[in-house]
Amino acid sequence: MSEIELYHRAAKSTAEKELSYILNQHQILEKNPELKDKITSRHNMTFYEAKTGEIRVYYHRQRTIDEEYLDALLHKNKQYQWLLAEAYEEFEDFLEKIYAFHGKHDNNFWPLNDYGAATLSQLPNKDYEWYLNQATKKKGNPSKYIK
């Protein structure tokens, strides 16, 4: 989770800088109405042709300041969505681990089928890793551990 928090801080800082720059450019354009609808950036995507070495353009895009601002916001949101997915996966892992912990410390906590082929007399000799392995075999979504 600490790594996710560090990525969040980096994404937030980068987005704030980019949005601040774009807003500053927007203010400049507001003061100069004749420039307001002008293209603020041009992008050529190119590659070198293998046989001749010539540069070939395969895509060209022009963006206004409003498009740049929207793109920056959308990019920030996509980064945040990815971080939420990462955090959810960490939560799932936590549920597996806590489920394994409870299974090891209270053999009545799990339904019998979660123990697989192990008999009740074998359970005290099993280590935490065995319980964790059994927990990861449990079928269903994360609510299976909560139930």
How far is Cα 34 from Cα 38, in angstroms, rounded to an integer?
Answer: 8
Q: Are 71 and 63 in contact, with CB atoms under 8 Å apart?
A: yes
| Residue 135 structure tokens | 């927990």
The pLDDT tens digits of the residues spanning 60-96 come to: 998 888 899 999 999 999 999 999 999 999 999 999 9
**DSSP structure string for the chain:** -HHHHHHHHHHHHHHHHHHHHHHHHHHHHHH-GGGTTS--EEEEEEEE-TTT--EEEEEEEEE-HHHHHHHHHHHHHHHHHHHHHHHHHHHHHHHHHHHHHHHHH-TTSS-GGGGTT--TTTGGG--HHHHHHHHHH--S-THHHH-
Query: Does residue 146 register a pLDDT over 90?
Result: no
CA distance linking residue 25 with residue 31, whole number of Å = 10
Q: Please tell me which residue, 120 or 49, carries the higher pLDDT value.
A: 49
pTM across the whole model? 0.71
Amino acid at residue number 61:
R
